[in-house]
Every structure is written in structure tokens, then in C-alpha cells.
Amino acid sequence: MVDARRGVVYTQTMWKAAVTFLLLACSAAQAADDDDLVIPPVTYPALARHAQSVEGFLPLEWRIESQKTGDLNGDGRDDVALVLRAMDDRNVIDTRKRGGPEQFDTNPRILMVGLANAAGGYDLALENHTLIARTTEPSQQDPLDPNGVQEGGIDIKKGTLQVTLGYFSGNMGHLTYTFRFEQKAFKLIGYDRVDVERFKGIMTQISINYVTRRMKRSVGSISDDKDKSTWTTLPQKPLLTMQQVGDGTEFKAVPR
């Protein structure tokens, strides 16, 4: 199978084999509830509107967690997408009573884009606090954890910004959002999701192109390749901005 928008080539057999291995390797135990867990509130700083370098966008006590470059507005210059993360020790808490780690990092993130300025430096084009939601539940995977069961991250491909969020709780899988910069905003043009019911081994794949309004849904089992696929034409709707998407792990992909 080939995903033309991302240039990824894979087979269902390969993916299902990998998922099967992960299901066997991961414990099915769930953390117990604990009313004593307190998540500290956070305040997001405002980013600079222009900076001569990527470091110029960094607020005090924040770091660059991830960085990708590529042309996002078609002017031939490399723009930059950054994931910034706070470094506040007060947001690293002990969650062992809930079966979590001793140092559970709840520090928030900011997803930002700087467009290259012809005169030098970058102009802030995106500052988003919601798509990559703050991790506050120790029994769930951090959506960008590079060592997690389902890895997430950001990328710039073919002039689009792609954000992949991994998750592992009752179910496991990943979601990829594809955004295109137009009319001074990042509009959602693509959505891809692979979801596995861990205890039943049922795998559901959804791929949506919001420009053509076509959605493919495939349902099968990780134990075989006998998937059933259906195609649907979605109703005409304006493209959503990233801000309108909100929390990427809670977004309802099919418009009503």
C-alpha cells in the first residue's frame, strides 16, 4: 500500500506483524485510580513575532524538543517547525501510587512555525497549544514519546506540515494530521489513523482527504489480511484550521 501524500510504502502484513509483537510485549495491567494526583496548572508564554534564529523564539525555561525544516508557503525558502517544551521541575511529579513512574513529566508543549523572511530570520506563523495535548494521565502514553509503543513526531513533507500522535491505553495506535498553509492559517487537509483494540486484535484504519472529501475505512484483524474496506464521500465543509481541531487525541475526524 502506498500513501501518496506521505510517500510511505508499507504492507498490511508488515504492520500487523509489528502490532502483534507489541501486543504480546506490553502488559495489559491498568493503573489504579488515585484521587491524590494533582497536576499543576500552567501558563503559556507568548512567543516572539520575529526572530533572527530559531533560538530567538525560545521563552525562558523552555527547550526545543523537535525541529524540522522545509518550504511551507511556496516561496523557495526553508521555513521551520518546532516543538517547544517547558522545563519546570514543578511539573515533574511522582505517580507511583497510580502505577506510573517516579518522575512523570507533565510539562506542556507549544507547536510553532516560523516562515523564513526574505530579509533574514523567521516570522511567527503558528503558535498552537492544543493539538499536542499536555500529558496528564500516567497510564497513557505521551503522544510524542520517541520510546513509546506508538511513536509520534512532526515533519515537513511536500510543502505540508505533518503531526503524528501515538497513543497506548485501552487501545493503541497513531494519528497523523496533514496541514497546508493557506490564507495565513494552517488548514487540515488530511487525516490518517490506525487503531488496534488490544484485547480483540481488531485493527481499524481510516484515511481522509478533506480536499477531495473522500474517506477510506478498513477493518480487519491483526491475525490475517482479510480487511474489509469502504469508501465514503464526506459532506462539503470548510477546511478546519489547526486551532479549530483542538486536542489531536480527541478530535472527531468525520464532520457531521
- Pairwise CA distance, residues 97 & 250, whole Å: 26
77: helix, strand or coil: coil
Residue 252 in any domain: the answer is no
Residue 37 in any domain: the answer is no
Single-letter residue type at 119 = A
Query: What is residue 20's predicted lDDT score, i.e. its pLDDT?
Result: 52
Strand pairing report for 202-209 and 171-182: unpaired
Q: Note the pLDDT tens digit of each residue in 102-118.
A: 999 999 999 999 999 99
Residue 41 in any domain: the answer is no
Residue 145 in any domain: the answer is yes
Q: Note the pLDDT tens digit of each residue in 125-166.
A: 999 999 999 999 888 889 998 666 667 899 999 999 999 999
174: helix, strand or coil: strand
Rg of the chain on CA atoms, in Å: 19
Cβ pair 29, 139 in contact under 8 A: no
Unique residue bearing C-alpha cell 517547525: 81
Residue 30 in any domain: the answer is no
Residue 75 in any domain: the answer is yes
Cβ pair 91, 66 in contact under 8 A: no
Cβ pair 62, 54 in contact under 8 A: no
Q: How far is CA 48 from CA 58, 64, 110, 114, in A?
A: 8, 15, 13, 10
Question: Whole-number mean pLDDT of the chain?
Answer: 86
Residue 44 in any domain: the answer is no
- Pairwise CA distance, residues 249 & 145, whole Å: 14
Residue 107 in any domain: the answer is yes
Residue bearing the bigger pLDDT, 12 or 8: 12
- Number of structural domains, the chain? 1
Q: Residue 158 belongs to what domain range?
A: 2-25+50-245
Of 36, 65, 60, the residue nearest 46 (C-alpha): 60
